[in-house]
Amino acid sequence: MAGDFLLHARLEADTISLGRTDLCEIRLMNDRTWPWVLLVPRRPDIREIYQLSVADQQQLLAESSLLGKGMMGAFGGDKLNVAALGNMVPQLHLHHIVRREGDTGWPGPVWGLQAPEPYGEGELEAFLARLEPVLAELIKGVPAG
């Protein structure tokens, strides 16, 4: 029997809530190394994108594209990394990571590369100020297409 949605404990511990969209929890990876935001659909017992209903899949994509484009604009990235891996945390979550040429780990993937470097207090506020317009739009609601 399907239970209610509950954010996975590992995601709860590693990330900071930035609010919620129509479908997802928006979570900031607490690692100052790269701008890195997750979308976690509030659907119980979902591991893979294809397990979502078609409507939810399209909603996730619309939210992901708005978020990714906004992050790239806000942080001036060279390449966005978008990924649903879930080898460590099977609950479906979609990574959005702004990459710059020459950043830590470039051009390799960032997962498992190093221990996270948490944001300092003032640093987190400055980061969120840049992300604020995108978050506001995401939270207001994104039509699926």
- Contacting range for its own copies; rule: CB under 8 A; set: 1-9, 15-23, 47-55, 120-128: 47-55
Q: How far apart are the C-alpha atoms of 145 and 119, rounded to whole Å? A: 35
- Single out the residue of 1, 50, 102, 121 in contact with its own copies (rule: CB under 8 A): 50
> From the CA atom positions of the chain, what is the Rg in Å?
15
84 is an interface residue for its own copies by CB under 8 A: yes
| Minimum CB distance to its own copies, residue 53 (Å) | 10
Q: According to the binding rule CB under 8 A, does residue 33 interact with its own copies?
A: no
Q: How far apart are CA 91 and CA 85, in angstroms?
A: 10
Fill in the amino acid letter for 126: A
What span, in angstroms and rounded, lies between the C-alpha atoms of 31 and 37? 10
| Span of 18-26, 27-35, 83-91, 125-133 interacting with its own copies by CB under 8 A | 83-91
11: contact with its own copies by CB under 8 A = no
Q: Which two tokens stand for residue 90?
A: 């099977």
Told to check if 81 binds its own copies by CB under 8 A, we report: yes
Q: What is the DSSP letter of 104?
A: T
Rule CB under 8 A: say whether 69 interacts with its own copies.
yes
